[in-house]
Structure 1
Amino acid sequence: MNKNALTASVEIHQPISLIWKIWNEPEHIAKWNAPSAEWINKKIENNLIEGGGFLYVMAKKDGTENFDFSGTYTEIIEHERIAYTLDDERKSLITFTGNNPVTLTEIFEPVPGLDVTMQQEFCQSGLNQLKAYAEQFNK
Structure 2
Amino acid sequence: MKNRTTVERKSARELIVTRTFDAPARLVFEAWTKPELLKQWWAPKSMGISLLSCDADVRAGGRYRFELGQEGSKRMVFFGRYVEVIPHSRLVWTNDESDEGAVTKVT
Q: TM-score, normalised by structure 1?
A: 0.56
**Match 2:25 to one of 6, 11, 16:** 16
Do the aligned partners of 1:53 and 1:71 also contact (CA within 8 Å) in 2?
Answer: yes
- Structure 1 residue 17: deviation in Å? 0.8
Q: TM-score, normalised by structure 2?
A: 0.70
Q: Please provide the CA RMSD for this pair.
A: 2.3
- How many angstroms apart in 2 are the aligned matches of 1:93 and 1:60? 26
Counterpart of 2:43 in structure 1 is: 34
Query: Can you give the 5+ residue segments of structure 2 that lack an aligned partner in the other structure?
Result: 1-10
Do the aligned partners of 1:81 and 1:93 also contact (CA within 8 Å) in 2?
Answer: no
Question: What code does the residue aligned with 1:81 have?
Answer: R
Q: Deviations over 1:20-50 (max 9, x none)?
A: 1111100000000013332111100111111
**Match 1:78 to one of 87, 100, 106:** 87
Query: Can you give the 5+ residue segments of structure 1 that lack an aligned partner in the other structure?
Result: 95-139
Question: What code does the residue aligned with 1:77 have?
Answer: I
Question: What code does the residue aligned with 2:103 have?
Answer: R
Answer 1 or 2: which has greater strand percent.
2
- How many angstroms apart in 1 are the aligned matches of 2:45 and 2:72? 13
**Match 1:58 to one of 55, 68, 75:** 68
Identity, in percent, stands at: 22
Question: 20-29 vs 75-84, which deviates more?
Answer: 75-84
- How many angstroms apart in 2 are the aligned matches of 1:34 and 1:82? 19
Aligned residues: 92
- Structure 1 residue 80: deviation in Å? 2.6
Do the aligned partners of 2:44 and 2:50 also contact (CA within 8 Å) in 1?
Answer: no
Answer 1 or 2: which has greater helix percent.
1
